[in-house]
Structure 1
Amino acid sequence: MTLTQASPSRHAAVPPAGRDRPPCRAGRWPRIRRAWQLYLLLAPTLLYFAVFKYWPMYGVQIAFRDYQPGGGFLGSPWVGLKHFERFFGSYQFWDVLGNTVLLALFNLLVVFPVPIALALLVNQLTSKRLKHFTQTVLYAPAFISTVVVVGMLYVFLAPRSGLVNNAIELFGGHSVFFMGDADWFRPVYVSSSLWQEAGFHMVIYLAALAGVDPSLHEAARMDGANRWQRIRHVDLPGIAPTVSILFILAVGNLLNIGFEKALLMQTPLNKDSSQIIQTYVFEAGLEQAQFSFSAAVGLFNSLINLGLLLTFNQLARRARRTSLL
């Protein structure tokens, strides 16, 4: 009898769904007025992208015109795909594109996976003092400017007084002119990029490893898993979404190789391998004042990057990995 009386009261205490909810105020502007502080905080970022990212797209039309500074964008004659056809038909097209692709792929294959390995190894250090010291040593090169890094390369790799060549001669080898040999441009470029950028990307993966549930490691330890097995089955799956996102961004920015370093490392002796799209645009656009032609080459480079970004993002989505969209 007691159960029969308690049951209706318990059900009666639950109100019908949606009856106790406050009415939703329809309309966009009321919601904006309620959270105006958040929109005010977001306004500088939106203004930055509007002024420096979207408004300059108006100038893309220069690639389809024979630009004349006196006439401006609209006053310059429309030439369509003339500058693109000129670039595709140039004898330098395949050399410049090949140098860019080879350097970009070499840089991606070497620089991208090393920070992941460094983060996994540093994360296994048990001493906090040693861990912090290692992070500082690996991260410090990221604060050095590109100009200083290239200057260090010229000093260390000098044919006569360079530290590297002195070590080579000490062990019985012959001096190598690294900065003047086209075959050594890519190895020197990629190795210096690895030294400068690996620590910065390592910190991102360390932050992702900090979000891995410690109970997973405890369960794996109780099951008898050793350190390498925990890295393989716990740490790597835990940072897989971060790796996927950064890989998509890296592929989408594949052909946008560091312009400053390539230009500073470029010499007449290594130009056969150091002439990439970015340095070619600089040479044609600023040194030779071919504004429309250089804009067409730069637009071609951006379209290739956009295509790579969309392609690999779609592949990641089909593989059920984390994607941008």
Structure 2
Amino acid sequence: MFFTKDGKNKLLTIICMALLLLMKSEVKAEVNGEELWLWPLPYDKGITSYHGERDIPVAGASSNHKGIDISAIEGTPIMATKSGDIVPMGYDRRMGNWTVIDHRDGTYSTYQHMQSHEIIKEGFVNKGDIIGYVGRTGNSTGAHLHFEIRIGEVGRAKEFYLMPPVNPLSYEYTNAPPNIIVEKEEPIQRKDNKNSMSKNIYPYPERIIYRNIPMMRGDDIKWVQTALCDLGYILVVDGFFGDISKTMLIQFQRDNNLVANGVCDESTLEKLNELTKTNEVLISQETSDVVSETIGVSKP
């Protein structure tokens, strides 16, 4: 079942099974109390396409790569990179056989171009469980795993492609191949203890920002997100204006007696600029509740 029906790759199957057993013994690894991610393949040939801008490898592919492509022998088992609720997505002409896992912490992972799904019904999977096999289904130049991580609200797997993607290599993995370099972003440096970092890092927006499909993106959106973070609103500074950014902006507008429509217009920008200059933080109880719900924290 692992590779070919005629059993030509039995040796590789045995090797992969041995590696899987070793990985299973270490899947509970933690750093500072947080569960580490597991590299999704027990054996691979390396990353052939990284996250971000790239040359289009095949007609119909995106030049802005949302994840990473990991080359591997067809039939290599694919493992859940972290525990969570799995949602098999079936078949798509671009992504082939693909599935999504909601990790219940605001992060989602997806696995695409699979030869087949090991799990065909929604349910809970443990970190390290086999969820499918490397294939070349969909719009693919060869056998590989397209692996993505996105940030969103818990329980919204069906809205996966409305969520902002993050670089999978910004996370740490147990048993990652030795050639994998974690590309953690450097923390934004503040000039002092006041919340003024957005003025020093990103350009002030010269346009109206709003939730759109596809999502609006850019460094000016990072300015807005950073300013909101400075004022205590919890969201990811990723340059994509998605649902969470809109939710936090609406709460900011309500807290400051602005039109609460989720549109970052001139008046909203001026207020953000004013408050981050003065380091004034005004958070209502309603905002506190919404923030708690967004990041999955139970209210007392």
TM-score by length of 1: 0.20
More strand by share: 2
Tell which structure's C-alpha radius of gyration is larger: 1
Higher relative contact order (CA 8 A, sep 6+): 1
More helix by share: 1
TM-score by length of 2: 0.21
